Amino acid sequence: MNQADIQQEKVMMELQTRISQQSKDKIDKDEAEKSFHYTAVDWLTNVPNPKFPEGIDELRKVTPARIGVWRTGTRPLTKTILKLQLDHAAAVDAVNGEVPDSLLKEFNLFTVETCYENKEVYLKRPDKGRVLTEEAVKTIQEKCVKNPQVQIVVSDGLSASAIEANLRDIYPALLDSLEVNGLTQGTPFFVKGGRVACMDHIGEILQPEVLVLLIGERPGLVSANSMSAYMCYRPRKGMIESERTVISNIHSGGTHPVEAGAYIGTVLRKMIDQKASGVRLEL
């Protein structure tokens, strides 16, 4: 065997070793996915031999609540306990998480903050999440269009996961619905640590005709990704809750974000035409 043949054989052996390692990595990855990836069907449990199976099926069709989970002895099944712990962990992550900067850049949203200080204070002092910092007020005054017809604001609220999960669907649909309804918008931005009533402070600064706030809702044990769209006519300090209109439960298992975004423009159009929002608005 000459030197060229030896070199070629060496290359072939290295190639075979690399392919073998790639195959092994793929097998390991497939096995890992098989072991740890569960679908909704995998989590289902059933009451064995129910006296009224049609009733249980009917209830399950109308609610995602944990019904018909059965038990072992006097305690829930291990699978039920694990799913509860998983959902609780997702809820905790949603509250303590952060909306990725890359997502905000994708929609050209600059960030301002309320006086929430940190997550611990935010949870204990809701009033701090209703007021913007002095720096935030200055930034908004410098960057935003004054007296817009529609002001769009996005906030993490109590679920950063909700913004991450829904913004890519609801935001384009919302912009389309504004165009269809002949509405123009100001300069959108993101409020970190915001509560619903932060829209009143923003209203005082920018004086929009209507304002829509897309905000992450308090996570539960069914969904940690629920968002709401709060809207009001002429937002201002001192507004009462009945003056706000809300579309809630926006997520893939509730009101679909695309559907919600498409509907918001219609609601805002009616607010402007009727010069009202909340309980005074006729939808």
- The secondary structure of 149-160 as a DSSP string is SEEEEEE-TT-H
Binding residues for adenosylcob(III)alamin: 196, 217
Q: How far apart are CA 9 and CA 24, in angstroms?
A: 22
Binding residues: 196, 217
Full pLDDT tens readout for the chain, 283 residues = 666 666 656 655 665 566 566 556 655 665 555 555 667 777 777 788 888 888 888 888 888 888 888 888 889 898 889 989 999 999 999 999 999 999 999 999 999 999 999 999 999 999 999 999 999 999 999 999 999 999 999 999 999 999 999 999 999 999 999 999 999 999 999 999 999 999 999 999 999 999 999 999 999 888 889 999 999 999 999 999 999 999 999 998 899 999 999 999 999 999 999 999 999 999 8
Token pair belonging to 106: 């994708």
- The secondary structure of 18-36 as a DSSP string is HHHHHHHHHHHHHHHHHHH
pTM of the model: 0.81
Q: How far apart are CA 264 and CA 177, in angstroms?
A: 7
